[in-house]
């Protein structure tokens, strides 16, 4: 267990975590398969949970140790920034846990959240559908009440890590419009669920199609009440765009460190491109820091986080464009991590709300430009 | 002025400064600021005074030679002098009101000089960053108003996504730059300020390009205010190193160091 008797301050927390990570070797094996990443994820979370680190910043009612959520961002920064866990799997915790704490019955949250935080289980998020991407509220996966349960039929897509998941936070349609969306916490081994990984252009089969064919879910697995699903989806954005972004930024900085090493023979010729990338990453990091301090100060995050999202996707693509520009052939001719990462970065302006949707939100809600 | 001002006093100060800057500019504004206690503000509460005064210069479109004072204070020298300031391209300028016949683009009293000395520029670069952000906000305000008022094809042009996205991009750039300016530069004040000036200059150039486009023909006329701001930010971007030059310098710093400083910490 961590040594703190009281809620630690951020600097003290970080220095003790760093010392602990220096003493406990959690370095990943040299195996870049998705299976290996999944195993490493479980191993790192298990160790961090047992030592208490994974529990800070989460409420005691859900198995946490309390304290401000900024502590979670510190853990994420150190774990992902050191490349102990990959940013994708690690980020799922931040996307899923707050939803459970805010919407599941207290007993269910207390039972389930520790399984996720300790890496004993992986969960997935069933939101997007083939016909509902940017327009998420048009989703059509049906849930119908039958006896003392609900029966689900439909299809989800882009469901990250569904092939490893034991549970799914699933959005379904139970009525018309935004108020007709209802969320469930579904066991992935329920009869009638079929998971098919998608082949993607970067060669990592992280995203899945998930089919639901008369899948029965008990009523006590509903998250919130019927019709709360849209609000649930909106409520998780502040977490996704604060602590979760901070981890991704830490990851991008670690990759930028690597690029500084890879381009050193180019000398001055690389300075402008490297400076531009640094400026984009630094701007993003400053913005994300300010966002987290606002959240910590009790302010409600809203459409302003669309600015963080635009900055993140822009900086990420700029980093990998710079990789390709300064290291000609490395993406095209060499089978290195840069290739996979460059290709994956093409999705940065698409997932988590497209860059266009973010700009629509900024125009409507922040600039008050009225309707289109 | 030793104790930090509370929020209410800061608001009052801001209102007073804004009113003054809207009615005067140049040497007259310098005199008015002196009367309002600028020297005391600068020495007693620089963390509040510099962002406030320089942002308001941008928002109101006025100018004063207060940048000289920031440079002098950093160097522990008497206020009132006109030190040679580096300008983009390796040149030098002074900011003074002599030689009024030949001002810089947009009317700033800047003149080329042959040489200058080494200066610590962190505070001055931050100050200019705030000025650039203020000017950028002024341009965005004009373009937003125009987009809502201007009707074409039977509806306000603010209803067209191409226009909306340009304005959204502008806000993203400004907010990003402002985040770099508000970062406390405790670990590395020089690099923090350099990056902030680079971000603010880049944001201002983005704002000028997008707002000019959204304003269409009216923004190109001398009777409309936009051109003052556009000219102002072109000059301010060059002063103390352009966004382009500073960006390159930041890249050279990474090369020398071999790793990337994480200046922003939680």
Residue A34 is part of a domain; what is its CATH number? Answer: 1.10.540
Name the closest residue on chain A to residue B198, using Cα atoms. Answer: A279
- Considering the domain boundaries, does residue B183 fall inside one? yes
* Closest chain A C-alpha to B248 CA, distance in angstroms: 4
* Closest chain A C-alpha to B106 CA, distance in angstroms: 28
Domain, as residue range, for B16: 7-113
Task: Provide mean pLDDT across the span B239-245.
Answer: 98
How far is residue B217 from each of residues B146, B157, B158, B222, B223, measured CA to CA in Å? 11, 14, 16, 11, 11
- Considering the domain boundaries, does residue B39 fall inside one? yes
Number of domains in chain A: 3
Verify that B30 and B140 share a domain, yes or no. no
In whole angstroms, what is the distance from residue A337 CA to residue A330 CA? 9
In whole angstroms, what is the distance from residue A175 CA to residue A226 CA? 9
Instruction: Choose the closest CB to B176 out of A271, A283, A371.
Output: A283
Domain, as residue range, for A224: 124-229
A contacts of B179 (beta carbons < 8 Å): 283, 286-287, 289-290
Which of B140, B146, B175 is the best substitution to test chain A (most A C-beta atoms within 10 A)?
Answer: B175
Q: Among residues B42, B44, B43, which one has the least CA distance to residue B53?
A: B42
In whole angstroms, what is the distance from residue B28 CA to residue B14 CA? 18
What is the model's pLDDT at position B140? 98
Verify that A256 and A203 share a domain, yes or no. no
The last residue of a domain, from among A198, A229, A260: A229
What is the model's pLDDT at position A2? 60
- Please give the structure tokens belonging to residue A173: 């349609």
- Considering the domain boundaries, does residue B2 fall inside one? no
Which CATH number fits the domain that encloses residue A200? 2.40.110.10
Verify that A85 and A134 share a domain, yes or no. no
The last residue of a domain, from among A121, A138, A159: A121
Does residue B155 sit at the A interface (CB-CB below 8 Å)? no
Does residue A7 sit at the B interface (CB-CB below 8 Å)? no
Does residue B256 sit at the A interface (CB-CB below 8 Å)? no
Verify that B98 and B147 share a domain, yes or no. no
How far is residue B245 from each of residues A275, B76, B123, measured CA to CA in Å? 10, 27, 18
A contacts of B252 (beta carbons < 8 Å): 268, 271, 275
Residue-wise pLDDT tens digits, B53-96: 999 999 999 999 999 999 999 999 999 899 999 999 999 999 99
Q: Is A129 considered catalytic here?
A: no
Catalytic residue among A240, A316, A341, A372: A240
- Considering the domain boundaries, does residue B236 fall inside one? yes
- Considering the domain boundaries, does residue A214 fall inside one? yes
Is B46 in contact with B73 (CB distance < 8 Å)? yes
Judged by CB atoms closer than 8 Å, whether chains meet at A276 and B168 is answered as no
E strands, A175-259, are: 181-187, 193-197, 207-218, 222-223
In degrees, rounded to 5, the angle at the alpha carbon of residue B96 between the alpha carbons of residues B90 and B98 is 115
Backbone angles phi, psi at B265, to 5 degrees: -120, 150
The last residue of a domain, from among B113, B148, B175: B113
Residue count (chain A): 372
Judged by CB atoms closer than 8 Å, whether chains meet at A268 and B252 is answered as yes
Name the closest residue on chain B to residue A296, using Cα atoms. Answer: B266
Verify that B147 and B232 share a domain, yes or no. yes
Instruction: Choose the closest CB to B259 out of A260, A362, A370.
Output: A260
Name the closest residue on chain B to residue A280, using Cα atoms. Answer: B199
Verify that A242 and A355 share a domain, yes or no. yes
Verify that A224 and A262 share a domain, yes or no. no
- Considering the domain boundaries, does residue A5 fall inside one? no
In A, residues 107-146, which contact B (CB 8 Å cutoff)? Answer: none
Verify that A103 and A149 share a domain, yes or no. no
pTM across the whole model? 0.96
Does residue A278 sit at the B interface (CB-CB below 8 Å)? yes
A contacts of B249 (beta carbons < 8 Å): 271, 275
Number of domains in chain B: 2
Q: What is the ipTM of this complex?
A: 0.97
The DSSP symbol for A363 reads I
Verify that A328 and A355 share a domain, yes or no. yes
- Considering the domain boundaries, does residue A75 fall inside one? yes
The last residue of a domain, from among A195, A229, A263: A229
Judged by CB atoms closer than 8 Å, whether chains meet at B262 and A285 is answered as yes
Pairing, β A123-126 against β A167-173: parallel
Verify that B199 and B76 share a domain, yes or no. no
- Considering the domain boundaries, does residue A244 fall inside one? yes
Verify that B67 and B137 share a domain, yes or no. no
- Considering the domain boundaries, does residue B265 fall inside one? no
In degrees, rounded to 5, the angle at the alpha carbon of residue B181 between the alpha carbons of residues B177 and B187 is 130
Verify that B253 and B126 share a domain, yes or no. yes
- Considering the domain boundaries, does residue B170 fall inside one? yes
What is the model's pLDDT at position B4? 66
pLDDT under 70: residue ranges of chain A: 1-3
Of the pLDDT bands very low, low, confident and very high (cuts 50, 70, 90), residue B100 is low
Burial B59-85 (b: 16+ CB within 10 A, else e): bbbbbbbbbbbbbbbeeeeebeebbbb
Name the closest residue on chain B to residue A288, using Cα atoms. Answer: B179
Contacts of A73 (CB under 8 A, 6+ apart): A57, A242, A243, A246, A247, A292, B266
In whole angstroms, what is the distance from residue A192 CA to residue A152 CA? 9
- Considering the domain boundaries, does residue A52 fall inside one? yes
Q: Name the more confident of A301 and B126.
A: B126
Residue-wise pLDDT tens digits, A240-254: 888 999 999 999 999
Does residue B18 sit at the A interface (CB-CB below 8 Å)? no
In whole angstroms, what is the distance from residue B142 CA to residue A337 CA? 46
Backbone angles phi, psi at A168, to 5 degrees: -140, 130
Verify that B239 and B179 share a domain, yes or no. yes
B contacts of A57 (beta carbons < 8 Å): none
Verify that A45 and A129 share a domain, yes or no. no
Does residue B150 sit at the A interface (CB-CB below 8 Å)? no
A contacts of B266 (beta carbons < 8 Å): 10, 70, 73-74, 77, 246, 289, 292
Say how far residue A277 (Cα) sits from the centre of its chain. Answer: 23
- Considering the domain boundaries, does residue B202 fall inside one? yes
In whole angstroms, what is the distance from residue A362 CA to residue A239 CA? 19
- Considering the domain boundaries, does residue B139 fall inside one? yes
Say how far residue A83 (Cα) sits from the centre of its chain. Answer: 16
Which of A77, A349, A363 is the best substitution to test chain B (most B C-beta atoms within 10 A)?
Answer: A363
In whole angstroms, what is the distance from residue B103 CA to residue A238 CA? 49
Does residue A17 sit at the B interface (CB-CB below 8 Å)? no
In whole angstroms, what is the distance from residue B265 CA to residue A9 CA? 13
B contacts of A282 (beta carbons < 8 Å): 180, 195, 199, 263-264
């Amino acid at each position: 267990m961590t040594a703190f008797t009281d809620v630690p301050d951020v600097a003290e927390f970080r220095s003790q975590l760093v010392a602990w990570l220096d003493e406990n070797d959690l370095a990943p094996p040299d195996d870049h398969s998705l299976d290996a990443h999944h195993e490493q994820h479980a191993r790192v979370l298990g160790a961090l949970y047992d030592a208490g680190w994974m529990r800070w910043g989460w409420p005691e009612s859900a198995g946490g140790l309390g304290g401000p959520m900024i502590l979670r961002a510190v853990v994420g920064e150190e774990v992902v920034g050191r490349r102990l866990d990959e940013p994708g799997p690690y980020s799922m915790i931040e996307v899923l846990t707050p939803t459970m704490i805010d919407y599941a019955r207290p007993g269910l949250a207390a039972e389930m959240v520790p399984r996720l935080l300790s890496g004993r289980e992986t969960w997935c998020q069933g939101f997007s559908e083939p016909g509902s991407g940017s327009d998420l509220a048009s989703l059509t996966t049906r849930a119908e009440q039958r006896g003392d349960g609900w029966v689900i039929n439909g299809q989800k897509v882009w469901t990250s890590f569904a092939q490893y998941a034991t549970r799914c936070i699933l959005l379904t349609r139970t009525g018309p419009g935004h108020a007709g969306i209802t969320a469930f916490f579904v066991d992935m081994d329920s009869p009638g669920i079929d998971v098919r990984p998608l082949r993607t252009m970067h060669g990592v089969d992280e995203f899945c199609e998930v089919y639901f064919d008369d899948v029965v879910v008990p009523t006590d697995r509903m998250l919130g009440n019927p019709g709360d699903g849209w609000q649930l989806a909106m409520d998780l954005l502040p977490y996704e765009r604060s602590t979760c972004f901070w981890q991704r930024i830490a990851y991008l900085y670690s990759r930028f460190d690597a690029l500084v090493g890879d381009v050193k023979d180019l000398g001055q010729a690389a300075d402008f491109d490297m400076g531009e990338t640094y400026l984009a990453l630094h701007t993003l990091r400053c913005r994300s820091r300010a966002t987290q301090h606002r959240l910590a100060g009790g302010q409600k995050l809203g459409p302003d986080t669309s600015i963080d999202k635009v900055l993140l996707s822009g900086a990420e693509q700029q980093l990998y464009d710079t990789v390709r520009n300064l290291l000609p052939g490395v993406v095209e001719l060499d089978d290195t991590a840069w290739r996979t990462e460059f290709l994956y970065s093409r999705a940065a302006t698409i997932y988590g709300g497209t860059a266009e949707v973010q700009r629509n939100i900024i125009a409507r809600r922040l600039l008050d430009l009225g309707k289109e | 002025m030793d104790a930090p001002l509370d929020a209410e006093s800061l608001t009052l100060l801001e209102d007073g400064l804004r009113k003054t800057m809207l009615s005067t500019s140049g040497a007259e504004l310098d005199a008015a600021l002196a009367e309002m206690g600028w020297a005391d503000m600068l020495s007693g509460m620089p963390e509040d005074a510099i962002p406030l005064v320089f942002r308001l210069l941008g928002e109101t479109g006025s100018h004063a030679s207060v940048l000289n004072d920031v440079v002098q204070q950093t160097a522990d020298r008497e206020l009132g002098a006109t030190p040679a300031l580096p300008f983009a391209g390796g040149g030098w300028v002074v900011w003074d009101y002599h030689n009024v016949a030949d001002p810089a683009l947009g009317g700033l009293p800047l003149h080329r000089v042959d040489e200058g000395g080494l200066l610590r520029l962190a505070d001055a670069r931050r100050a200019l960053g705030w000025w650039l952000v203020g000017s950028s906000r002024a341009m965005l305000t004009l373009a937003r108003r125009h987009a809502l008022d201007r009707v074409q094809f039977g509806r306000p042009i603010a209803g067209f996504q191409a226009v909306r996205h340009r304005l959204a991009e502008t806000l993203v750039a400004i907010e990003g730059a402002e985040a770099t300016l508000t970062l406390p530069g405790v670990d590395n004040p020089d690099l923090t300020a350099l990056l902030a000036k680079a971000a603010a200059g880049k944001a201002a150039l983005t704002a000028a390009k997008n707002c000019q486009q959204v304003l269409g023909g009216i923004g190109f006329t001398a009777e409309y205010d936009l051109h003052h701001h556009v000219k102002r930010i072109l000059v301010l971007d060059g002063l103390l190193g352009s966004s382009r030059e500073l960006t390159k310098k930041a890249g050279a710093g990474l090369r020398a160091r071999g790793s990337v400083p994480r200046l922003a910490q939680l």
